[in-house]
Structure 1
Amino acid sequence: MDIQYVYTKKRSEFGRQVHFTDRSVEIIADIQPNPELIKEYISRNPVEVAVQNAREFSEHWVNTVRFETENRGINHVEGGWPKDVNPLEPDQTSRFRKKTEKEDGYGRAILSLGQSIEHTIRQNNAIDIYENYFEHLEPDVVEEAPYAKTINIYRDPHNIRRTANHISWYADGPRKLAVSYCNLEFQSATSDSFIDSYIWDIENPTKPELYLKPISPLVCIEFNPKDTHQLAGGCYNGQVCIFDTRKGSTAVEQSLIENSHRDPAYKTVWLQSKSGTEFFSASTDGKVLWWDTRKLSEPVETLILDIEKKGRLENALGAMSLEYEPTLPTKFMVGTEQGRIISCNRKGKNDAEKIGSVFPGHWGPVYALQRHPNFTKNFLSVGDWTVRIWSEELRDDCIMWTKPSMHALTDAQWSPTRSSIFYTSKMDGTLDVWDILFKQNEPTLSIQVVDEPLHCLRVQETQGRLIACGSQNGTVTLVEVSDNLCVQGKSEKALVTGMFDRETRRAKILEARVRAKRDARAKSAQGEKGEKATGEVAPGETELREADPIEKAEKDFWKIIEEEKRKRDRKVVADDEKPAAETGAVIEEEGAATTTA
């Protein structure tokens, strides 16, 4: 049975002010304790209670469909005409305009409208509603800590595990990824292994958009920046091939095996040209080859990487990485298997003129090489366990370097939107974000992307927000970084410029000091031969001592330390001898007393 009670109220009392009055305390209910319940109570000993100071939150990510914008034009047509007048007919509009101008009220209406329009125009000229009044002020510092999150994971659909060696972004926005898959371990490739590579749509991680079927496993793949349907690939057997997404999965052009590399083609880079059909490739066979897609049967030009400039292939250094900046169309750099970095100029008439300066590089192969997007004189390289930043003005040493990592580094790239940030991938599956303005000894942010080695990374160039990382088992992970890692501050570029200039000057000073020390040692060695008999100090040695204040300061420091040690030792010896002397005196006194007695 439903119990209902209806509250009634007069209509005149709706909205009336409520008046509260004081009254005495009234006991509504009084429940006495039951003494029998105490027998059922059991005390708990010990009692553990956990108290959390902060609230507990659960974090959850959902992959939503990305919003795509589209630019559309609007056609504004002339309006305000009567229904019987077609605005597209000039005769009708001119006839109606003349008729209206002859009316008596036309002049008065124009004068009245003119005053209001004049006032509005003057107001618009006086106040700019689009002016940014705080443009000169520095932007507020973003207080939130930098972070990154995983957007998608693209797994190799084939059962055989292969390494994702190289990644290339689609040239017209972050929509597609081209990934080359190849197993480069020694004697690990078999004849029946799966050799396909893929083009992924970043919104669909379940299935590749297009299968690329080369004649040999692809070591590298690159989208053509001028024709986004074309891709250039370097194969494991040394050949290069061209794919066209409009013409299917197979290669439309490929080089002849006898005119190709003798080792895997590790890198292919498109050149800046009017036709957009030229690219060049590098391999560990010691050659750099230039190609034209219109005639891919043989290379257009060949360069042998012999740093002795004799053009001998047996002395050539194997190429592992390439660097090419479109703003410097004739210059390029090669990172070698032996750790050297070679700066080349294509304008040279022969191999000796094409090979320019050689940088010492790393102790192992140079896996990555890239010029700074904003400062073309500076570039970074990756090898062994460090990242080194170089300047073209110095050939003997780098200007900056990172602390050696516990795990080997495999790839690195500058951020295209922030001048002070670059990214590195490591063999423990970690993606590190370095901000050289913030700190140089350790990364600003470390992200554990996968539990297997990362072999490559590629940052999307237009926004700098998306990073694709390829792992040893063929997994490609798409990572999105926070705003403070991809939005550049106003003074950041100037600060990075000042840092590079300062470090370059420091390196030049140290290089000059080392050169002076080397010359002084050579002079002192020559002077010692002639002045050993007289016992005089060689003038070169005197100059070395005077010209090296650091060494003099170190000697003075250690001299002070040694003096302090001697003082402490003398004090300890004195303290040890004092009680012995007192004891001997007491014994002598007792002996004298005994004799007297």
Structure 2
Amino acid sequence: MELIKMKKFTEKMIIKRERKSAPADDDDELHVEQRIIQINLTKKAKKINKTIELVDKPGLIDAEIRQNPELDKNFITLKKMDRVCQNSLVYSINEINSDQKVFVEKDVNHWTGGWPKDVDTGDPDQVARFVKKIEKDENYTTTVLNLAASAEEKVKQNNALEIFSEYFPLEGEEMENEDHAVCTAAVFRDFSGGRAVSDISWSPDGGEKMAVSYCDPDYHAPKDNPGGECYIFNIEDPTKYHTMLEGDFPTTSIAYGKTNDCIAGGWHNGQVCWWDLRVPGGLQNVVPVDTSHVEPVYKVVWPNSKTGTELMTCSTDGTVKWWDTRKFNMAKESLIIDDREKDIKKHGKLIRARGASIIGYESTIPAKYMIGTEQGLIFNCNKKGKTPKEAIISTYKAHHGTVMALERNSFYTKCFLSVGDWTAKIWCEDIDESPLMTLNCGTDKVTDGCWSSTRPSVLFTALDNGHLQIWDIIYKQKIPTITKKITDNTLLRLAIQEDGELLAVGDDEGLVHIQQLSSNLGK
């Protein structure tokens, strides 16, 4: 019989309790109680101080889900953009040997010129006789010509124009010395209840009316459909809407046509529609689902055309499509934004396409348009190109995230504005390496931006913290000229009136704030 050795472990715990004696005693007494708690643990002697042995066992698979290649056809691979960033400033050093110029200041005391001693400069007759004598000299003409070139150089160096002097006080208008200012003139609300403003478009008749579309950014399924109503407001009456435009899905983009009667819109499900305000009911036609975009339409544009019935739309599905309102059942043309396609005859692959987030179009350049993408790239495209290789003229690596706004300057059409991440950048079409100017808008995200329609140096940016920034790059380049708190909500959309005096600012609660600009900003 195996002898079992027992080992006892004893733990003692002392509990102290304080008790007060009876009230009759004057001095308090401290009574201490000790309790011993004894725990006996038994274990075999051969298991005491035994070395731990580790055994390698195969893993157990509870469940296994194998790959199904057939499911890949239901998804499109999301393209990622990799960028290298530097946190600290980049410095460069150059060394060069240059010629040293020594500058010396000398004074000359010139009284009357180099007259001979026998000629009295105070006598006009003697001076006149001496001048005639010199002019008859054969070397006089040659000497004057040689001195003229040297004298002309010195005169040009000493010419200076006092720029602060007023040379022509009676000609032209006086410059205005008015301070930059902006104030809220009116606020328009969403009558269907607090939907985020997705787009704003001013009427082409001088901006007496404006069309506003609404779509919540976190809208995903038809079961959450809050309604696709859009509204046309009269600027003079913010208490009610002028016309309601009905839709089946939330409208992500809206645009007035060349006249006040036609309005086009893009829906969240990828369909495109247009309304005719002269006809009761308004909604005229909707693109069928099978020929529309696969993802939301983020920009609708009426390009210049002979008939005035052509539409251009872009979507994050990677395509740009052209439509004709007279034949609205299918796209007139389509371009896949595949910048990696090298064959000039191929139309590109949709799986490699860049998702388009915005279109930049200037009516004075009908043959060109620009596309901003979700990857931060901007493509300058030619309308005549039918394939990606033919259409894409140049590429600009603009931002680290989605391009939120893209617009050409109407006065200098080669310059354009792009907005994304935390910056707004001004580019030149001929320079794709870097922007001409980068406007630091702060640490808050920039959601939209646009140029002034009357001032070539004035532009506007909207921030997600509710601030509106107004830049006049002639006066200031590093900080905004005006920063105004519009609301506590996130600002989403900006739209400038054609006359340049009113700016519409839309937020995520369905409010459109009309800002009145001062004369030095809007005229």
Which stretch has the larger CA shift, 215-224 or 341-350?
341-350
Question: 2:500, 2:336 → 1: CA distance?
Answer: 36
Provide the residue aligned with 1:421 in structure 2. 458
Compute the displacement of 1:393 (Å).
1.3
Matched, 1:163 2:196: yes
RMSD over aligned Cα atoms: 1.8
Unpaired segments of 5 or more residues in structure 1?
Answer: 1-133, 488-597
Larger helix percent: 1
Secondary structure of 1:485's counterpart equals helix
Q: In structure 2, how many angstroms separate the alpha carbons of the residues matched to 1:152 and 1:309?
A: 49
Counterpart of 2:176 in structure 1 is: 142
One-letter amino acid matched to 2:200:
I
Contact 1:309 1:355 in 2 (8 A): no
Runs of 4+ in 1 over 6 A off after TM superposition: none
3-state SS of the aligned residue for 1:177? Answer: strand
Residue in structure 2 matched with residue 272 of structure 1 by the alignment: 304
Q: Is the 8 Å Cα contact of residues 452 and 471 (structure 1) preserved in structure 2? A: yes
Larger proportion of strand: 2
- For residue 389 of structure 2, give the secondary structure of its aligned residue in structure 1: helix
1:479 to partner: Cα distance: 0.8
Which is bigger in relative contact order (C-alpha 8 A, separation at least 6)?
A: 2
TM-superposition CA deviations, 1:128-179 (whole Å, max 9, x none): xxxxxx79846433333211111111011223x2111100001001210100
Q: Distance in 1 between matches of 2:262 and 2:228?
A: 19
Gaps of 5+ in 2: 1-167, 343-347
User: What amino acid is the match of 1:411?
Assistant: D
How far did 1:363 drift?
A: 0.5
Is the 8 Å Cα contact of residues 430 and 450 (structure 1) preserved in structure 2?
Answer: yes
After superposition, the Cα gap between the structure-2 partners of 1:454 and 1:258, relative to the gap in structure 1 and judged at 3 Å, is same
1:172: which partner in 2? 205
Partner of 1:261: 293
How many positions carry a matched residue from both structures?
352
Provide the residue aligned with 2:233 in structure 1.
Answer: 200
State the alpha-carbon separation in 1 of the partners of residues 366 and 225 from structure 2. Answer: 41
3-state SS of paired residue (1:246): coil
- Name the TM-score, length of structure 1 as normaliser: 0.57
1:50-90 deviation line (CA, Å, top 9, x unaligned) = xxxxxxxxxxxxxxxxxxxxxxxxxxxxxxxxxxxxxxxxx
Aligned to 1:168, the other structure's residue is in SS state strand
Does residue 289 (structure 1) correspond to residue 332 (structure 2)? The answer is no
1:185 aligns to what?
218
Identity %: 40
Q: Distance in 1 between matches of 2:303 and 2:256?
A: 12
- What's the CA shift string for 1:455-489, capped at 9, x where partnerless? 0010001x2000011100000011111111123xx
Matched residue, 1:522: none
Q: Flag the 1:208–1:345 CA change in 2: closer, same or farther, 3 A.
A: same
Letter in 2 for 1:476: V
Partners of 2:374 and 2:189 lie apart in 1 by 30
Task: Determine the structure 1 residue equivalent to 2:280.
Answer: 248
What is the CA distance between 1:406 and its match in structure 2? 1.8
Counterpart contact for 2:245–2:282, Cα < 8 Å? yes
- Give the structure 1 partner of residue 375 of structure 2: 338
CA distance in 1, matches of 2:190, 2:436: 40
| Contact 2:225 2:250 (8 Å CA) reproduced | no
Alpha carbons of structure 1 residues 249 and 147: separation in structure 2 relative to 1, 3 Å: farther
Residue correspondence of structure 1 range 316-395 to structure 2 within 5 A: 316-395=353-432
Contact map agreement 1:214 1:250 (CA 8 A) in 2:
no
Alpha-carbon separation, structure 2, partners of 1:441 and 1:359: 23
Q: Provide the residue aligned with 2:480 in structure 1.
A: 443
Map 1:38-117; keep pairs closer than 5 Å.
Answer: none
Mapping of residues 14-29 of structure 1, within 5 Å = none
* Native 8 Å contact 1:210 1:249 kept in 2: no
Once the two structures are superposed, residues 371-398 of structure 1 have per-residue CA deviations (whole angstroms, 9 ceiling, x without a partner) of 1111111101000010001111111111
The match for 1:535 is none
Cα–Cα, structure 1 residues 182 and 249, in superposed 2: closer, same or farther, change >3 Å? farther
Report if the CA contact (8 A) 2:270-2:295 is conserved: yes
Q: Distance in 2 between matches of 1:320 and 1:360?
A: 15
Structure 2 vs 1, CA of residues 351 and 136 (structure 1 numbering), >3 Å: closer, same or farther?
A: farther
Partner residue in 2 for 1:218: 251
Residue number among 293, 306, 312 corresponding to 2:338 in the alignment = 306
SS in 1 for 2:400: coil
Cα shift at 1:400: 0.5
